[in-house]
Structures are given as C-alpha cells and as structure tokens.
Amino acid sequence: MKYILPPIISVILAVTILLIVRRRKSNEYVPQSEISLHLGWRRISYRELEEATNAFGESNILGSGSFGSVYGGILSDGLNVAVKVFNLQSEQVRAIKSFATESQVLSTIRHRNLIRIIGCCSNTEFKALILEYMPNGSLEKWLYSHNYFLDILKRLNIAIDVASALEYLHHGHTFPVVHCDLKPSNVLLDEDMVAHVSDFGIAKLFGEGESTAQTETLATIGYMAPEYGTEGIVSTSGDVYSYGVMLLEMYTRKKPTDKKFGEEMSLKSWVSHSLDENTITEVVDTNLLGREEENFAKKDQCVSSILALAIECLTDSPTERINMREVVRSHVFSFSTTEYVGTEFSVALESPLQNSIHFCRLGCIRKQRKSMFSFSTSENVDGELPDELGNLKLEKVNVHNNSLFGTIPISMFNISTMKMMELSANQFSGHLPSTIELSLPNLEELNVAVKVFNFPSERVTKSFDIETEILSTIHHRNLVRIIGCCSNKEFKALTLEYMPNGSLEIWLYSHNYFLDMLKRLDIAIDVALALEYLHHGLTFTVLHCDLKPRNVLLDQYMVGHVGDFGIAKLFGQGESIAQTKTLATIGYMVPEYGSEGIASTSGDVYSFGIMLLEMYTRKKPTDAMFGEKMRLKGWVIQSLDENKIIEVVDDNLLRREDTNFSA
C-alpha cells in the first residue's frame, strides 16, 4: 500500500524535529582516552585461578549446581570475577558439553543485560569460565532471602532488563539463540541492580532458517513450556513461556513448584483466576500491595497489567504466544510510570552487541573436533607459531600486534574451516608457501562486498583499524556484518556481507527506484534499532558519527543495515563525549560536532533526525534550496506549524486525490 496519511506523516516529522531539537546535553566534557575495553578473552592459568579463589575454598563459593560450582575471586590485576568450575568427576560428558555450549554462545553474543565472559581455563582435567562478578547475586536471592526486598519499580526494571536480553537473543542477533533455562537463579544483578541473564549451558543456537529443534536435555521443572517437557521441542517460544512464569513469580513471590500448586491448580491458573475476579491482592506478594497504602489503585493497576502480560506469554500453543519483541514493545513496559506508581522515573528499554575483538575459535582435535570454544590473544605475546596449529579446526586467527617471529607454519594455510587470518604487526620472516589455495572452500560462491582502503595514508590506516575493531565486536541484524579482512603493509581491505539492494540513497534519488511510506518507515525503524543497540545495548558505547542515507544498506528483503564505521568512536565506561578532528558529512553533523568537534550519542540522534526528514521530503540537507535563511529542519517545522506538510513531503508519497489522503 503506497499511501498512508498526512496525520501519520505529521507525527513522523514532528518526532524527527523533536529528536533534532531536544538533544541531551552533557554538562561536563570527558576527554576520550585510549580505549582499553576488555573486548577479548583472557587466557588465565589454573594457578592464577587457584590463588584468586583461595584454592577454591568453601568460603569463596557463590553457588553450586549439577554442572559444578561458582567461586568468587580476585585476579592478579585486582579484578573481581566469578569462576564457574565444571564438575568433570560425576558427569564428565554432560559437563564438557555444557562447557562447550556456554563457551560458544558467550563468544558470539554481547549485550548489557547478558553476563559477560572474561576468560577461560581449559585442559583435559579442568574446565572453567571466568565471568564478570555480580555483587548483588541472583534475583532468586532477592525474592526469597531474609532482609532482601524489591519494590514494584525495581522488579519492573529487572523484568525489562531480562526482556531486553531475550529480545536481543531471539531477534537482534544474526541467528536466534534460545536460552532454554530461564529462571530467577539465572538472572544476576550487578552493583546498580541491573539484571544480566546467565547460564547458557543448555542453550541452543539456530542456523539460518531454523526455528525449532529437539533436545533430550531437560530444563528446570516448572519453567519449561508444555512442548518442551512433553516432546523436547525447543524454540524461542519456549523462552517466552519461561519468561511468563518468571514474571508471575516475581510479583507473587511463589515458585511454580510451590507446595500449594498441583494437578488442580498451577501458578498460571491461580493468577488467571485472580485477574478474572479482580482480586489480585490475594495473589501478589504481600510486601508490594496494601489497600491502606497511598496510590493503591494505581499500583494495583500497574501490577495487574504486568500479570496480564505474563499470562499472554503462557499460552499453551507456541504458535499463539506473543514473542519477546512484542513483550518489550507492550504498553506495560512503555507506560507513563509516574501515573502508576506515584514516583517520577523513566523506563528506558535498552535494546539489542557481541563478538570479542582479537579472538580465535578453536575446535578440539580428533574425537572432539566439533566441540567449539573461544579464547582471545593478548598483546605482547612472543615466540613462534607451532606447526600443531594446523591440527586444529580454526575459524578465525587474530594475532595482530604481538611480538611473534619465525616462519608461518604451512599447515595453517591448509585449514578448510578458516575464515579470517590476521597476522600483521609481528616479526615473521620468510615467504608465504606457494601451496596456499586461492580460495577457501567454506567461502566459495559467497557474495561479498570488498571495501579496499586507499593506501598509503596514516588516516586510512586509522580508519581501517577503527572499522575492523568495531565490526569485530558488534553483532546485530541491522548492522553490516564483517566476513573477513586482508591486511599487509601495502594493502588493506575488509570483506563485508553483500547488500544486493544497495544504499538507501539510491532508493531515494535514483530513477526507477521507489520506496512507499511503509517501507521508509520500516527502514527508519531498522536504523533506530541499530543505533539503540550501539548506544545502549553494550557494556561500552559506540558512536557511528557519520549516519546518512549512503551508509544505510539494504539486503534482499529490504532490511536496513548501518554500515561504514571508519570514523566511529568507542567509549569506555563512564565516558559520554569525546573531541575529534575528523569531520563527518556536512548537513548531517550536529552543531557542536561541526563547531567544536564534540562527538556524543546525541550527535547520532541528530543525524538520524536529519536522515528521517530527508527520507520523507526527498530533500538533502545540502539541497540548493537551503541556505542561511532556511534549512531543511526550519522548512519542515514551518510546514508543521502551518499544517502544510503536503508542501514538503516527497511528491510521490502524498496526493490529495489519493485514497485515504486525509486519514
């Protein structure tokens, strides 16, 4: 349908102007330092772990389960960590499989509401993952332990955090990841009470086109979807069901396996009945609602909405359940919170990033060749590369910027699974073997875009390094994906996924190309999701710094992907703005960027607003009709004030004779 209506366009343009005008200002300039983010995995020895955890002493145990135990510890550099040690004594096969699964999943995902892996320690007799430490423990502890309490608002924030994590796993990743064991004990809380989903030991990774799988691994009784428990069918809908159960538990403070539940009544039916009878005070945690409390009616309405959302997640048929994207966008998580709780606060849905920079993915040799796990290389590693590397099932090797010397083993060039090899900035000698295949089997017939950097130039080298670093550490369905790179002293190129429909700029301005109103809106949403992820979905912040239609690429399904991170900025924890001498594109730069070189997330928001105006007016901000007296922004504002948007909107979108013109 090509025609939607002036009021809708008015709303779009008004929101766009708001984005441009109401940018968040920082009162304090924080200079950008060298980014020293822990983007890679640390390789940590058993001895260091032993020292960090007081020889895995009982006093250091944070928790335990069938997989083994988690110990608190302090590494030699003073970093607090949680060390998850897998029990290889009683159930070795299951423990090894759980270790491999969790390593694989954690190496490919990154989101502010997912537990972050720091390193691992693995040999035939010992396997452990080193995870970020969560000082406030699990959600389960806060629900059931004495002297711990979460009010309505805090429970809601945690519910939103978990929903955001699941939305990322199901919809924000290149392929879906199903957690399979969501429950309060697997939701951990950091020092700011922000929730992080953990324990991916039985998770499932789906390939392209896959939506369900069968498993014999049982999750936790009470949280499993009906189809999981009866048929072993795993899907994203199963996680939605588990989320619904957990949401009920959070507000009733009753486990699904509580002794009051049985064949005749379950947690779900108990709450459903209370909603039907308008008696939720009988099921809600007594610490949350009291009729004598101030604002009781508003709190009652708030909790009722949350419980009703949970029931929607618990539909018996997986095909009829809502998905996590619908959960996150539900009115329950986007209402005016002041109206409900009586306390002024705002709820920001942090949305869907992932892979570590500088990492290798290794597979065990011989019998366990399919078992994949990851580790990172550190800088200042010296020595020679051993011939035995050729026995491994390598996908990516990145030993850039170390002190390695000697010749490169011929065996490394015969690994059929290899996707990327980065060996630059070392002290290798000799010639590359003449037996190298010209192409790798797993990349044959793959359509790619090869971005070749104009050499030699210090600026170009910096741009290559920045884009390689960022694309190696982010992963979202609306960001261009890196496939590999080629780099030496004389040539640098990135191999990117191919976007057959070209750029948004082509579709806006080229002859015989047309985007209707809905398609433009879909692309705008795609770009907004990508920016939300870069700004809020990671443990660090990424600024694009050059958002414009040319840098939005469209795949075969016309899904928008943000590309070109050559002048992007990475912010460490606590940083919010930076100063730069690198100019972006005239017309899309926020005023403080162009005048003072100040880059911040607000700058990307401004660029998004300009691009949104351009998408619906089909006028570049540098169009000849604009100048000192009138700019694109002012032109649109005037049309909104005078209710004349038909005079500024792309002629192909609105005509008075169109069907539904006035709706």
Active site residues: 181
Cβ-Cβ contacts under 8 Å for 31 (sequence gap 6 or more): 578, 579
Distance CA 69, CA 53 (A): 12
Contact 114, 61 (CB under 8 A): no
Contact 606, 19 (CB under 8 A): yes
Q: Work out the number of other CB atoms within 10 angstroms of the CB of residue 609.
A: 25
Distance CA 319, CA 302 (A): 27
Strand order in the sheet with 448-452: 448-452, 492-497, 482-487
Q: In 3D, which of 399, 405, 146, 110 has the Cα closest to residue 287?
A: 146
Distance CA 212, CA 215 (A): 10
Q: In 3D, which of 212, 207, 208, 206 has the Cα closest to residue 225?
A: 212
Report which residue type is found at 213: A
Contact 355, 108 (CB under 8 A): yes
Alpha carbon of residue 89 to chain centroid? 35
At what angle are helices 517-536 and 6-21 packed, to 10 degrees? 30
Residue 127 marked ligand-binding: no
Cα-atom radius of gyration of the chain, to the nearest Å?
27
Cα-based distances in Å from 526 to 153, 259, 343, 410, 478: 30, 46, 33, 44, 6
Q: Work out the number of other CB atoms within 10 angstroms of the CB of residue 408.
A: 20
Q: Work out the number of other CB atoms within 10 angstroms of the CB of residue 321.
A: 22
The string of DSSP codes covering 495-562 is EEE--TT-BHHHHHHSTT----HHHHHHHHHHHHHHHHHHHHSSSSEEE----SGGGEEE-TT--EEE
Contact 521, 12 (CB under 8 A): yes
**Three-state secondary structure call for residue 320:** helix
- Binding-site positions for ATP read 84
